[in-house]
Amino acid sequence: MVRREFWISRILSGWNRRSVIWLSGVRRVGKTFLCKSIPDVEYFDCEIPRVRRFIEEFPDDFLKEGRDKKIVIDEIHRLSNPSEILKIAADHFPDTKIIATGSSTLGASKKFRDTLVGRKIEIYLTPIISNDMKDFKNVDIKHRFYFGGLPPFFMSNQIDEREFQEWIDAYWSKDIMELFRLERRYSFIKFTELLFTQSGQLFEATKFSRLCEVSRTTILNYLAILENTYIVHIIRPYTTRKAREIVAAPKVYAFDTGFVCYYKGWKELRNDDFGYLWEHFVLNELYAHLQNRRAIFYWRDKQGHEIDFIFMKKKEPIVIECKWSLNEFNPKNIISFRKIYPEGDNYIVLYKLERNFKIEKENIKIEFLNLEELIKRIKGNSVS
């Protein structure tokens, strides 16, 4: 069993602050294996009817038996009132350490009648990040791009189309139907697949409503569900509503590069694909470390100048541009942005870089660094 040390450390740190941890992430991202890799945990799977009945009918007895222990309640959304057991645990059994897992944000479904504000730590388990690749003893970034970051897919050496279809089927039947009870499978799945093929582009709901044969309101509902179940990430524009800025249209990114490659029909990766996939990988890395999907924005003006990601730090917009190679760099986008917002650091994150360096263009300082150093800067652990 692979120990994903970054995530184990985050869980143990979370338990030092709260007794209840909500561990969420997409299906097959590795929640169960991660929990079982923590020493001395007792594991309960709510997909097993007898386990479900015992927790629902005798919550006090269940928690008394687990007093002072580490408990995993997997697939907790299968309970009729999943937030109740966690609230009882947090309020009356603070010495019991609990991890509850699910495939959505805590407030995504009406089943969660209480989001446990102040009672829990939330951890979003992303697809495989750089730290995980070392744990899995495979640091081939191109393999990670093509096969994706779900452990069973990443550990494979051959693309099996049935695996992708089975994943989609399970997502529909076990997540969507149980949590949201949608009716139009065809329209929802088609919308999901279209977002995978158009990942990273500006989102316009009316276009998708025509293609999926549902109303614009339904498309927006679908999009919210996909975001709440971590299938897509919605990046909103950074703007102070200047006349020349894009102020409303978000960009939508698929959760995983492997699914992007599969639904685009790519049989092999070309040199032109690496920069595009590197942008997705960097976003995934930022989410893993920041644990805040609302912290990242993008910027674009009506002349077509665009910044990949904007991160707010101490009320200053930090520029993050993702480049696979140094040859791709052009300062014009940063220059256009800094004419409007002059304060803040400017980072170009490159895949391979032997040492960090800085340049200056039109009195604007721009720093080139690798992904590891970017994370340190964003988290404030390194001095510029």
* CATH code of the domain covering residue 357: 1.10.10.10
Residue 174 covered by a domain? yes
Residue 139 covered by a domain? no
Is there a single domain that holds both residue 193 and residue 109? Answer: no
Residue 138 covered by a domain? no
Nearest to 250 by CA among 224, 289, 275: 224
Is there a single domain that holds both residue 155 and residue 278? Answer: yes
Is there a single domain that holds both residue 211 and residue 332? Answer: yes
Write down the pTM of the prediction: 0.95
Residue 229 covered by a domain? yes
Is residue 25 within 8 Å of 32, Cβ to Cβ? no
Average pLDDT across each block of 10 residues of the chain; the chain has 384 residues. List them in order: 94 96 96 96 96 94 94 92 90 95 78 76 97 98 98 94 95 89 93 98 96 96 96 95 82 98 96 97 98 95 95 93 95 96 97 93 96 93 38
Backbone angles phi, psi at 254, to 5 degrees: -70, 155
Is there a single domain that holds both residue 159 and residue 87? Answer: no
Count of domains forming the chain: 2
Is there a single domain that holds both residue 101 and residue 197? Answer: no
d(CA 302, CA 243): 9
Residue 140 covered by a domain? no
Buried b (16+ CB within 10 A) or exposed e, 20-59: bbbbbbbbbbbbbebbebbeebeebebeeeebbeebbeeb
Which structural domain, as residue segments, surrounds residue 204?
145-384
